[in-house]
Amino acid sequence: MSDVRHSPPTAKGLEYLGAVAGGLVHEIRNPLSTMNITLQLLQEDFADAPEDDERAQRVQRRVTALRREVTRLEEILDDFQRYAGMRRLDLAQIDVNRVLEEVTAFVRPECARVGVRLMFWPDRSLPLVRLDERLLKQAVLNLLLNAIQAMEEMAGGSEPPDRTLELIVRTRTEGETVRIDVIDTGPGIPPEVGQKVFEIWYSRKRKGTGLGLPTARRIAEEHAGTLEFVSEPGKGSDFVLRLPLAGPPDAGA
Work out whether strand 117-121 and strand 166-174 pair parallel, antiparallel, or are unpaired: parallel
**Of residues 209, 206, 208, 204, the one with CA closest to residue 187:** 204
The CA distances from residue 129 to 96, 97, 177, 220, in Å, are 7, 10, 9, 13
Rounding to the nearest 10 degrees, give the CA dihedral for residues 204, 99, 243, 175. Answer: -120
Residue closest to ligand ADP (Cβ): 212
Stretch that binds ligand ADP, among 25-33, 130-138, 146-154, 242-250 (CB under 6 A): 146-154
Q: Does 170 bind ligand ADP (CB under 6 A)?
A: no
C-beta closer to ligand ADP: residue 39 or 114: 114
Q: 183: Cβ–Cβ under 8 A, 6 or more apart, which residues?
A: 147, 166, 167, 168, 169, 170, 236, 237, 238, 239
Neighbours of 194 (CB within 10 A): 11
Query: Taking CB under 6 A as the rule, does residue 126 contact ligand ADP?
Result: no
Q: Give least dist CB 186 to ligand ADP, A.
A: 5
225 binds, among Mg ion, ligand ADP, none (CB under 5 to 8 A by kind): none
Specify the stretch interacting with Mg ion by CB under 5 A; choose among 60-68, 169-177, 210-218, 222-230: 210-218
Q: Candidates 14, 18, 63, 146: give the one binding Mg ion (CB under 5 A).
A: 146
Nearest CB to ligand ADP, comparing residues 22 and 208: 208
The partner in contact with residue 184, picked from Mg ion, ligand ADP, none with C-beta cut-offs of 5 to 8 angstroms by kind, is: ligand ADP
Count the site residues for ligand ADP by CB under 6 A.
Answer: 21
225 lies in the binding site for Mg ion (CB under 5 A): no
Q: Do the beta carbons of residue 142 and residue 213 sit within 8 Å?
A: yes
Q: Is position 210 an interface residue for Mg ion (rule: CB under 5 A)?
A: no
Q: Does 9 bind ligand ADP (CB under 6 A)?
A: no
For 111, half-sphere exposure in the C-beta direction (CA atoms, 13 angstrom radius) is: 23
Residue in 18, 210, 225, 247 binding ligand ADP, rule: CB under 6 A: 210
- Spatial separation of the C-alpha atoms in residues 168 and 146, rounded to whole Å: 13
Q: Please tell me the distance from the alpha carbon of residue 140 to that of residue 153, in angstroms, as a whole number.
A: 20
**Is residue 237 at the binding interface for Mg ion, with CB under 5 A as the rule?**
no
Q: Which residue, 82 or 204, has its beta carbon nearer to ligand ADP?
A: 204
Return the residues of window 175-204 that contact ligand ADP according to CB under 6 A: 184, 186-187, 189, 197, 202-204
User: Contact at 8 Å (CB) between 134 and 82?
Assistant: no
Q: Are 111 and 118 in contact (CB under 8 A)?
A: yes
Separation of alpha carbons 219 and 140, rounded Å:
10
Q: Note the residues at the interface with ligand ADP (CB under 6 A).
A: 142, 146-147, 150, 184, 186-187, 189, 197, 202-205, 208-214, 237
Applying CB under 5 A, the residues found at the interface with Mg ion are 146, 212
